């Protein structure tokens, strides 16, 4: 009685393992067909191609970038040709068009960045001019108030001076009232 139970218990596990193994085998075969036999034998086994890195330069496409794009496109076109032979319908990539598009987008980005930098510099210069104008206006107002204050002080000092014979006039005016 124990043998049929063990066989019944082993059958579902064997079925799952068989389906898993078949799926894994299908994946390995598909990888071999799409990327060639070399990637399966290389260190690391079946691994996807390394992605394009891009350069450290911000708005430039260097020779290394161009070579990297051409390498990637060549690998991708090879994969697509293998899939097309197997019945797929994939268009091939054009490295020259990708490079032209990259250069055009980098030029546009560089123009936008240049326009931003020019606008920021213009705003910075306008701020410096306005700051200098405000400071000179403040100095002018301060000097004007000082001058006006000096004029008032001089007028008060002059008006409060005693003239000869003034005291007699004040005394006479005081008697009249």
Q: Give the model's pLDDT for residue 137.
A: 79
Q: Give the model's pLDDT for residue 38.
A: 52
Eight-class DSSP state of 162: P
How buried is 118 (Cβ within 10 angstroms: 0-12 exposed, 13-18 middle, 19+ buried)? exposed
pLDDT digits (tens, 9 = 90+) for 20-41: 566 666 676 767 666 655 544 4
- Any residues with CB less than 8 A from the CB of 76 and at least 6 apart, and which? 49, 93
> What residue ranges do the domains of the chain occupy?
1-48
pLDDT digits (tens, 9 = 90+) for 64-123: 889 999 999 999 999 999 999 988 888 999 999 999 999 999 999 999 999 999 999 999
pLDDT digits (tens, 9 = 90+) for 122-143: 999 888 888 888 888 777 777 7
- Let me know: does 46 contact 29? Beta carbons within 8 Å: no
């Amino acid at each position: 009685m124990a043998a049929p139970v063990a066989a019944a218990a082993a059958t579902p596990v064997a079925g799952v393992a068989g389906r898993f193994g078949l799926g894994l085998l299908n994946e390995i075969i598909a990888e071999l067909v799409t990327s060639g036999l070399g990637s399966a034998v290389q260190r690391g086994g079946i691994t996807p191609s390394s992605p394009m890195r891009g350069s450290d330069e911000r708005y430039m496409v260097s020779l290394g970038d161009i070579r990297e794009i051409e390498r990637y496109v060549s690998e991708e076109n090879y994969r697509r040709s293998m899939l097309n032979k197997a019945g797929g319908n994939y268009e091939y990539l054009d490295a020259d068009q990708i490079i032209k598009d990259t250069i055009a987008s980098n030029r546009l980005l560089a123009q936008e960045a240049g326009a931003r930098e020019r606008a920021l510099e213009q705003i910075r210069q306008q701020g410096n001019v306005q700051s200098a104008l405000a400071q000179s206006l403040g100095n002018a107002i301060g000097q004007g108030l000082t001058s006006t204050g000096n004029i008032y002080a001089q007028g008060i000092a002059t008006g409060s001076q005693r003239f000869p014979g003034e005291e007699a006039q004040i005394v006479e005016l005081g008697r009249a009232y």
